Structure 1
């Protein structure tokens, strides 16, 4: 039985991205312990590192040209599953980047 919402992180085993994948999953589960129903780590090949929420791609390393910063991923997940939720330092960092770049 799948619990909703389901977050998937598909990662390249050839690139040895399991540790990055596990850390990303840990960060998202720590931030959204009640809101996320399931986090799946999906081994793949070919340089893939995709983050999907209920089938919607939030981030694709190939399409975006690199890895997403964790605060950005947290904001993307929050905007979809808990839009009224404050993220503390993750929100403040994004606001600080827009104003002075500090």
Structure 2
């Protein structure tokens, strides 16, 4: 099965975004995941990893929950 980590910047107040992404991923793939966890970070980080591979990084990508879910999909199968 698959693990998802959402690392977010605590001092920046990104918890709400992290929770929104986590909820969207769980709604789509909960039965195919081992874990969808939040990881506290700092320095402006907001990164989503699937099985250790980065699928979203706010430094490179615009924040779009639907796009993040689409990027997770290939890792969990249909």
Give 1:61's aligned residue.
Answer: 58
* 2:15 paired with 1:18: yes
Give 2:75's aligned residue.
Answer: 80
Question: Offset of 1:63 from its aligned partner?
Answer: 2.5
User: Moved runs in structure 1, 4+ residues, more than 2 A?
Assistant: none
TM-score (norm 2): 0.91
TM-score (norm 1): 0.71
Larger Rg: 1
Structure 2 unaligned blocks of 5 or more:
none
**CA-atom RMSD, angstroms?**
1.1
Superposed counterparts of 1:25-64, under 5 Å:
25-64=22-61
Question: Offset of 1:10 from its aligned partner?
Answer: 0.3
Give 1:71's aligned residue.
Answer: 66
CA deviation string 1:45-92 (max 9, x = no partner): 00000000000000000133x32x12211211112211xx3xxxxxxx
